[in-house]
Structure 1
Amino acid sequence: MHDRSPPRRQKTSQVPASEAAITRKAPARSKGQARTTRAGDDALIVELGSRVKRLRTQAGLTLEEFAAQSGVSRAMLSKVERGEKSPTLAIIVRIAKGLNVSMSALMGAEPDAAQVAVIRKANRLAFKDPETGFERHNLSPSHLDNDLEFLLHRIPPGESSGELPPYKVPTEKYLVVHEGELTVQTGDANYVLGTGDSFYFDVREPYRFINAGRIPCAYYLVIRRRRV
């Protein structure tokens, strides 16, 4: 017999969109290490900004039209495109939605039609929210004719993804908690999941992933976009 009992559902009030980040002391680095790390981060921010601007131009969108489609202010989009601002997860998801591309494509994933693909850990496409420390690691190759994505998310204690918007196309998400405790908030309901629990939802309204625990949370996520 399969256990089809649903995960615990808790009716709770909405978590504020602007959650306060937990202050954590960064490990000590030498001045040389700090400069090298900063230079690498700056280069990634500039590269992302250039890609956003290129995709917007290819789509024939003005900044005003882009702002309307993405729900991100024109001023913020302009800073991102110039490489002056590292966007949070919530903002970059909205940018991808406004450009009608996946977040993986926005981060630089290239189509790969090979029958076999190996993605080394050191070569994963990864994104880290500069404010919350939320991490998104792309574990799957980007195929031209494939509507699936396989991801690893990590959330520090007390942090969340922020509110994420629904997609333009019908989208399903399947996840399994690898470590810690995860709360999935969709609509006005919270679903609390422990290590080893799995969860499915059809993304039809804004949602967020929350780590309300005291230890880091990690979970694997499969995204399926249904063709219309």
Structure 2
Amino acid sequence: MHDRLPARRQKTSEAPGDEAAISRKTPTKSRRQPRTGRAGDDAIIVELGSRVKQLRTQAALTLEEFAAQSGVSRAMLSKVERGEKSPTLAIIVRIAKGLNVSMSTLMGAEPDPAQVAVIRRANRLAFKDPETGFERHNLSPSHLDNDLEFLLHRIPPGESSGELPPYKVATEKYLVVHEGQLTVQTGDANYVLDTGDSFYFDVREPYRFINAGRTPCAYYLVIRRRRA
């Protein structure tokens, strides 16, 4: 039996496109300011912004249209494209959704049709939320004919992914907790998972990954996008 607890959904009064409406909500900690200033981080932010603008241009979207499709404000998107703002996980997921690409593609993953692929730890595509420290590591190659992604997520104590939106295509997620305790919030229920527990859900509504404990949490995640 799953652990099923009453939902702890938090509502906001802001419009969906407003930056405040997709800001992080965590169980135990207050909002921290983004960690910026390092040359390496600045280069990554600029590269990401350039890629977002390139993909938007290829999709023939104006900033206004992009904002409407992603649910991210035009002002925020403009700052991201100019490399002036490091987006949080919640924002970058919405950006990927608005461009109709996977987050891995947005982060620079290249299609890899090879039958065998080795991804060294030092060469993983990784994203770290500048506010929460939430880490997303891509463990799988991007195959042209494969709708699967294999990921490693790490969440510091008392932090969360923030509310994440459902996908445009039917998507399933499978995960196993490697370390610590994880709460998956989806719909009107919270599921509390301990080390070694596994979990599956069909992503049909907003969801959230939460580490409400006092120790780090890490879990492996497989994403499957079902083809029409």
Structure 2-normalised TM-score? Answer: 0.90
Match of 1:99 in 2: 99
Moved more, 13-22 or 101-110: 13-22
Which amino acid is the alignment partner of residue 12 of structure 1? A
What is the alpha-carbon distance in structure 2 between the residues aligned to residue 125 and residue 205 of structure 1? 27
Distance 1:8 1:172 in 2: 20
From 21, 25, 28, the counterpart of 1:19: 25
Query: Per-residue displacement from partner, 1:44-76 (whole Å, max 9, x unpaired)?
Result: 000000000000000000000000000000000
Q: Which secondary structure does the structure 2 equivalent of 1:94 belong to?
A: helix
Contact 1:181/1:217 (8 A) holds in 2: yes
**Counterparts of 1:83 and 1:18, CA distance in 2:** 21
Is 1:175 aligned with 2:175?
Answer: yes
State the partner residue of 2:156: 156
**In structure 2, how many angstroms separate the alpha carbons of the residues matched to 1:176 and 1:15?**
26
Change in Cα spacing, 1:164 to 1:191, as seen in structure 2 (3 Å) is same
Contact kept? 1:185, 1:209, Cα under 8 Å: yes
Matches for 1:69-80 after TM superposition, within 5 Å: 69-80=69-80
Q: Larger radius of gyration, structure 1 or 2?
A: 1
- Aligned to 1:8, the other structure's residue is in SS state coil
Match of 2:139 in 1: 139
1:90-129 deviation digits (Å, cap 9, x = unpaired)? 0000000000000000000000000000000000000000
CA contact (8 A) 1:22 1:159 kept: no
User: Is the CA contact (8 Å cut-off) linking 1:22 and 1:158 kept in structure 2?
Assistant: no
Judge conservation of contact 2:8–2:190 (CA < 8 Å) in 1.
Answer: no
Q: What stretches of structure 1 of length at least 5 have no aligned partner?
A: 25-33
Match of 2:224 in 1: 224
Write the distance in 1 (CA, Å) between the matches of 2:24 and 2:104. 25
Letter paired with 1:193: L
The alpha-carbon deviation at position 18 of structure 1 amounts to 3.9
Two-structure CA RMSD over aligned residues (Å): 1.5
Structure-2 separation of matches of 1:13 and 1:208:
11
Letter in 1 for 2:120: R
* Counterpart amino acid of residue 55 in structure 2: L
* TM-score, scaled to structure 1: 0.90
Deviation at 1:15?
4.2
Q: How many pairs were matched up?
A: 212
CA distance in 2, matches of 1:19, 1:209: 11
Query: Do the aligned residues in 1 keep the contact of 2:7 with 2:185 (CA within 8 Å)?
Result: no
Aligned equivalents of 2:39, 2:203: Cα separation in 1: 37
Q: 1:139-182 CA distances to partner (integer Å, 9 max, x unpaired)?
A: 00000110000000000000000000000000000000000000
Matches of 2:61 and 2:68, distance apart in 1: 10
Partner SS for 2:4: strand
Q: Could you say which residue in structure 1 is the equivalent of 2:64?
A: 64
Q: Report the 3-state secondary structure (helix = DSSP H, G, I; strand = E; otherwise coil) of the residue aligned with 1:85.
A: coil
Deviation at 1:83, TM superposition (A): 0.0
What is the rounded CA distance, in whole Å, between the counterparts of 2:7 and 2:147 in structure 1?
A: 33
